[in-house]
């Protein structure tokens, strides 16, 4: 039996479209057991079971199968128990958590045949881009570029005493495919230059602890403006977060979740925002999360 814990992730962080992400302290759990018999049983133990398949189409299982196919391992009957705390289709990396949970569990069952870099490449191939799978696997703040043969990345730990990530999560879904569908095929050169500078500033500021730069550094011209029309109240929620002392606010991944980066000692933020949401926007909920610097981990194995 192997039990894997995988963190939620938030991609882009404003300007780092498809290339930056952070891991957050909210977790899915994948438990995989070989039954000794044959066949596949999948049990989802939370409310996501009403829309996620409990059969061979399940993403966790499909990802495990990729590892078994590569390594030639043949499990003797497989029972999966899945506990999903990461809200599905909200821009918090639930699919990456499924992929990473599946491949890490499968790799342990087959005797850790694949290296971390091979797991990362496989996860990014399944997902299509590396910005969520890298922090899901490794934790921390990651900057990644996908080449034909490998993911080139740098992982840096975030200061979990200094920073919190306030996730404002609405009760509606936004499929990544739909959210990518509103993006233009090309952008003005000036917009590309803007994002190059801002993602460099964001990276340097997060790594060096120069957090007063974050408000400027989360600026983006490649995706957020185009996605705004898919997310009612996006502008007013950004304003609300800044009015309450956020260091920076951005659309998490493809949305619809909005993340405010706040100082850990800004305790008034949670109370004020929760009060406004309760009064005026009951369809949004606030979750204040710490950064996760560990990534996917095997928490039980026997």
Closer CB to ligand HSE, residue 33 or residue 127? 127
The 3-state secondary structure of the chain reads CEEEEEEEEEEECCCEEEEEEEEEEEEEEEEEEECCCCCEEEEECCHHHHCCCCCCCCHHHHHHHHHHHHHCCCCCCEEEEEEECCCCCCCCCHHHHHHHHHHHHHHHHCCCCCCHHHHHHHHHHHHCCCCCHHHHHHCCEEEEEECCCCEEEEEECCCCCCEEEEEEEECCCCCHHHHHHCCCCCCCHHHHHHHHHHHHHHHHHHHHCCHHHHHHHCCCCCCHHHHHHHCCCHHHHHHHHHHCCCCEEEECCCCCCEEEEEECCCCHHHHHHHHHHHHHCCCEEEEEECECCCCCEEEEEC
Question: What are the backbone angles phi and psi of residue 15, rounded to the nearest 5°?
Answer: -85, -15
The residues in 245-284 that bind ligand HSE, with binding defined as CB under 6 A, are: 253-254
Binding segment for ligand HSE among 50-58, 98-106, 124-132, 143-151 (CB under 6 A)?
124-132
Q: Binding mask 167-186 vs ligand HSE (x if CB under 6 A, - otherwise)?
A: ---------x--xx------
- What is the closest distance, in whole angstroms, from the C-beta atom of residue 179 to ligand HSE in the complex? 6
Q: Does 17 bind ligand HSE (CB under 6 A)?
A: yes
Q: How many residues bind ligand HSE (CB under 6 A)?
A: 13
- What is the closest distance, in whole angstroms, from the C-beta atom of residue 27 to ligand HSE in the complex? 19
Distance CA 163, CA 170 (A): 22
- What is the closest distance, in whole angstroms, from the C-beta atom of residue 260 to ligand HSE in the complex? 18
Question: What are the backbone angles phi and psi of residue 275, rounded to the nearest 5°?
Answer: -65, -45
The residues in 23-42 that bind ligand HSE, with binding defined as CB under 6 A, are: none
Q: Binding mask 191-230 vs ligand HSE (x if CB under 6 A, - otherwise)?
A: --------------------------------x-------
Closer CB to ligand HSE, residue 179 or residue 205? 179
Closer CB to ligand HSE, residue 152 or residue 210? 152
Q: Binding mask 125-144 vs ligand HSE (x if CB under 6 A, - otherwise)?
A: ----x-xx------------
- What is the closest distance, in whole angstroms, from the C-beta atom of residue 223 to ligand HSE in the complex? 6
Q: Which residue has the tokens 């009060």?
A: 275
Closer CB to ligand HSE, residue 11 or residue 86? 11
Q: Binding mask 80-119 vs ligand HSE (x if CB under 6 A, - otherwise)?
A: ----------------------------------------
The binding site for ligand HSE (CB under 6 A) comprises 11-12, 17-18, 129, 131-132, 176, 179-180, 223, 253-254
């Amino acid at each position: 039996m192997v039990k894997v814990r995988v963190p939620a992730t938030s991609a882009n962080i404003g300007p780092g479209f498809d290339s930056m992400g952070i891991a957050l302290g909210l977790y899915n759990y994948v438990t995989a057991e070989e039954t000794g018999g044959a066949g596949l049983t999948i049990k989802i133990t939370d409310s996501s079971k009403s829309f996620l398949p409990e059969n061979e189409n399940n993403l966790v299982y499909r990802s495990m199968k990729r590892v078994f196919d590569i390594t030639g391992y043949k499990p003797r009957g497989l029972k999966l128990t899945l506990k999903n705390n990461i809200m599905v289709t909200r821009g918090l990396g639930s699919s990456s958590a499924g992929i990473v949970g599946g491949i890490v569990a499968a790799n342990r069952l087959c005797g850790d045949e694949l290296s971390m870099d091979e797991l990362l490449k496989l996860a990014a191939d399944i997902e299509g881009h590396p910005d969520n799978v890298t922090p899901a696997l490794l934790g921390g703040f990651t900057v990644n570029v996908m080449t034909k043969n490998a993911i080139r990345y740098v992982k840096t730990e975030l200061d979990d005493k200094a920073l919190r990530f306030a996730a404002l999560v609405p009760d509606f879904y936004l499929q990544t495919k739909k959210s990518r569908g509103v993006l233009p095929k090309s952008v003005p050169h000036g917009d590309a230059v803007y994002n190059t500078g801002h993602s460099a500033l964001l990276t340097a500021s997060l790594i060096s602890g120069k957090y007063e730069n974050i408000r400027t550094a989360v600026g983006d011209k490649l995706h957020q403006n185009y996605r705004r029309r898919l997310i009612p109240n996006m502008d007013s929620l950004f304003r609300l977060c800044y009015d309450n002392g956020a260091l920076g606010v951005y659309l998490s991944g493809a949305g619809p979740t909005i993340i405010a980066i706040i100082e850990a000692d800004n305790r008034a933020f949670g109370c004020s925002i929760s009060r406004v949401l309760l009064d005026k926007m009951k369809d949004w909920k606030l979750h204040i999360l710490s950064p996760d610097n560990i990534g996917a981990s095997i928490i039980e194995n026997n």
